[in-house]
Amino acid sequence: MRSKRVGSGIEIAGFEGPVFPLVYRSPAGGAELVTAAAGRLTRWDVGSGRPTREFQVPEDASTETFELEALVLKGGRVRIAAGDENGLCLWNGASGRLLADVVGKDRIYDVAGGPTSGGRPLLAGMGVNGLHLWDPVTAAPLAPPLEHVGDAVVVTLATLRGGPTLIVTGDYEGVRRWQGDLCELQFGAEIDAPHINMLTTAYTEDGRPLIVGVVEEGEVVCRWDAETGEEIGPPIPTAGESVRIATATVSGRMRLFTADQDVVRQWDLLSGEPFEETFAGSYASAVSLPDGSALLAAGTDTGKVTIHRLV
């Protein structure tokens, strides 16, 4: 693999096949990049594009392109998580050591991490057999799989202002919000949004959580207030059927990134107004930085990933 500067960013090329990037805030306040491609997980220096760590990958992994999630724990520990057809995979983000493999013994469609209402860290995974809840430190299950109302495939966590953390799930009927560390109660009414196939959470400057979801029927991205369930702004159109999304704040303005058909487009998350500049990529990950800028990592189906600093 080789890296070079392209405009104001860095391009890393030479991967085999599709590249899924994950960019996240490091415990020190900077940014880290991890890529998954051709059965390999690699951490990179975002400033130079040099590899800094190879991760241990399960020998029997059922996928070559993990869709990754990062969780920074108290004390600066980092966990990288992903699901595959056999269960949860969990890595030490610093050493790259595989901490757990095929936990849950279920096909895990999606993984999300964050604090519970009680303040302890949580990993949630949506699988065929239901919603799995794990301790991200030990990968121990916190409860048996929770049977879901519908055929859920995606999950995210949303922390309400001055209130609890919600576990938010999406299925072929709508978006559901669950209150309590083990989803004891449904929070508010179901959000009517059929055929949700991706969810994430974004936070406004005053800490208001927004649920952002790809609605397969209609091929749009919708945003809802996590507390009220109210839809925010008009639906944002997308170009195709396999859309990935990411969000970040750039100079105080919340942006949405939609990746599909090897094009990453930018939108104002609240108004839905498009930005003119686009990037190459079918997979996208973004992170806000303390100086008001953001990093966007875009991976292509043809073996490249580019890192762009947005100001």
Q: Which whole-number Å values give the CA distances from 147 to 144, 182, 292, in the listed order?
A: 9, 12, 41
Please name which of 56, 63, 59, 72 lies closest in space to residue 22, comparing C-alpha atoms: 72
Please name which of 79, 11, 92 lies closest in space to residue 44, comparing C-alpha atoms: 11
Write the DSSP assignment of 111-148 as a string of letters.
Answer: EEEEE-TTS-EEEEEEETTEEEEE-TTT--BSSSPBPP
pLDDT at position 192, please? Answer: 92
pTM of the predicted structure, to 2 decimals:
0.95
pLDDT at position 179, please? Answer: 93
pLDDT for 119 beyond 90:
no
Section 166-185 average pLDDT: 91
Residue indicated by tokens 């109660």: 185
Per-chain mean pLDDT for the chain: 93
Residue indicated by tokens 């997308």: 238
pLDDT at position 50, please? Answer: 95
Q: What is the rounded CA–CA span in Å between residue 243 and residue 199?
A: 11
Res. 8 pLDDT band, cuts 50 70 90: confident
Contacts of 138 (CB under 8 A, 6+ apart): none
Question: pLDDT tens for residues 180-213?
Answer: 888 999 999 999 998 898 999 999 999 999 999 9
Write the DSSP assignment of the chain as a string of letters.
Answer: -EEEEETTEEEEE--SS--EEEEEE-TTSSEEEEEEETTEEEEE-TTT--EEEEPP--TT-S-SS---EEEEPGGG-EEEEEEETTEEEEEETTT--EEEEEETSS-EEEEEEEE-TTS-EEEEEEETTEEEEE-TTT--BSSSPBPPSS---EEEEEEPTTSPEEEEEE-SSEEEEEESTT--EE-SSPEE-SSEEEEEEEE-TT--EEEEEEETTTTEEEEEETTT--B-SSPEE-SSSS-EEEEEEETTEEEEEEEETTEEEEEETTT-PBPS--EE-SEEEEEE-TTS-EEEEEE-TTSEEEEEEE-
pLDDT at position 309, please? Answer: 95
CB burial class (10 A; 0-12, 13-18, 19+) of residue 118?
A: exposed
pLDDT for 241 beyond 80:
no
